[in-house]
Amino acid sequence: MREVKEAGGARAGREGGRRAEAAPLHGIAALQRAAGNAAVTRWIQRAAEPPEAGREREYAMAPTAHAEWSDFCSMMREAGVADDVVDDAWQLVLGGLAEQGQVNAEAAQIQDVQERRGHAMSNTWFSDLVKLVGNHLEIDTPTLALWSGGEAVSRYAAVRGHTPLEETRFGRVLDRLVITPDWDLKLPMWRVVSQAFVSRATVPVHVFMRAYEPESVLLLQEVPQLRAIQTMNPNVTLHWHPLYTQPDGTLREVNSDLQLVDDAAYTSRDHCVAALYQYLLRVHDRGNAQGEHAYRAMSAMLGANGNPQD
């Protein structure tokens, strides 16, 4: 009850809807408003459980103690997000991370890859998060971008006038914070946010790849989701871009003549992948460390199919 009373006092003390930077989150009140009674029940259960290794649970119980709380507030406000949404979103992020370890342990017992990933993404804290911030995943360019192959690819897509998840208002905030060093806890959150981002597609989508990795989020989750959307909205067309990284780190696109150019969009995944494969097989310089990951990924794929390249 003390937590609820403190929360009410903090809210009542705001002037013109604003609060001091150090004011506490609204705790149980925030959870009930954002995610309903089930989240409140889990919050109370967590408070009664013995402490575990790691700080995720500690931060879920005391969100303003997290070192990045102030940065999260500042960036969310700069993005035009209302204070109460900022509070609730932070509580849901930290609550979800505290819960994800158990969800991952359950998922690890599932043999099927797709079912295992689906269970890892079933964390209700993260699904409530995207319901809360969904409007802040909108794009501000005529086209949406999806990618695989490292953050440099995301930046490449953005420079060319497309909007990847990391350049949406909420995606930009998540991308610039650490929150937790445990990627196994963060990855399911990113997958849930990505799913919400793709679900909003109503325009052409440009897909950028510098390696063909069938188990990537792009190919296992995002593209199949887009295919389903295409059946209802023909405006959602896919444009595929095969990328090669030059020795200086510059990304260029591979055209059908195996030349590196500024723009080489394909209307089918197969043609895009074929161009990328052929370039890596015939042209790639093994002394170019920047392009070696893509070459290795391709070689592993061919080797698994009985056609080793090394």
Q: What end-to-end distance do the CA atoms of the chain give, in Å? A: 66
DSSP label at residue 50: P
Query: Which helix H or strand E contains 308, and what residues bound it?
Result: none
Query: Distance (Å, rounded) from C-alpha 129 to C-alpha 242?
Result: 33
DSSP label at residue 169: H
CA atoms within 13 A on the CB side of 58: 10
Per-residue pLDDT of the chain (310 residues; tens, 9 = 90+): 333 333 333 333 333 444 444 444 445 556 666 666 556 556 555 555 555 546 788 888 888 899 999 999 999 999 999 998 999 999 999 999 999 999 999 999 999 988 999 999 999 999 999 999 999 999 999 999 999 999 999 999 999 999 999 999 999 999 999 999 999 999 999 999 999 999 999 999 999 999 888 889 999 999 999 999 999 999 999 999 999 999 999 999 999 999 999 999 999 999 999 999 999 999 999 999 999 989 988 888 765 665 555 5
Helices then strands, counting H and E runs in the chain, come out as: 15, 5
| Residues facing residue 238 across a β-bridge | 205
Query: Distance (Å, rounded) from C-alpha 123 to C-alpha 104?
Result: 9
Query: Distance (Å, rounded) from C-alpha 208 to C-alpha 55?
Result: 36
Strand order across the beta sheet in which 260-261 lies: 144-148, 205-209, 238-245, 251-254, 260-261
pLDDT of residue 204: 97
DSSP label at residue 267: S
Contact 236, 203 (CB under 8 A): yes
For strands 251-254 and 238-245, give the pairing.
antiparallel
Query: Distance (Å, rounded) from C-alpha 126 to C-alpha 182?
Result: 16
Question: Per the structure block, which two tokens stand in for 273?
Answer: 């992948």
113-121 long-range contacts, CB within 8 A, separation 24+: 113/215, 113/220, 114/220, 117/191, 117/220, 117/221, 120/187, 120/188, 120/191, 121/188, 121/191, 121/192, 121/195
For strands 251-254 and 260-261, give the pairing.
antiparallel
Question: Per the structure block, which two tokens stand in for 110?
Answer: 């599932």
Query: Distance (Å, rounded) from C-alpha 244 to C-alpha 282?
Result: 13
For the chain, how big is the Rg over CA atoms in Å? 22
Query: Distance (Å, rounded) from C-alpha 146 to C-alpha 203?
Result: 13
Contact 264, 275 (CB under 8 A): yes
Query: Distance (Å, rounded) from C-alpha 309 to C-alpha 303?
Result: 7
Query: Distance (Å, rounded) from C-alpha 39 to C-alpha 92?
Result: 9
Single pTM value for the model = 0.82
CA atoms within 13 A on the CB side of 111: 0
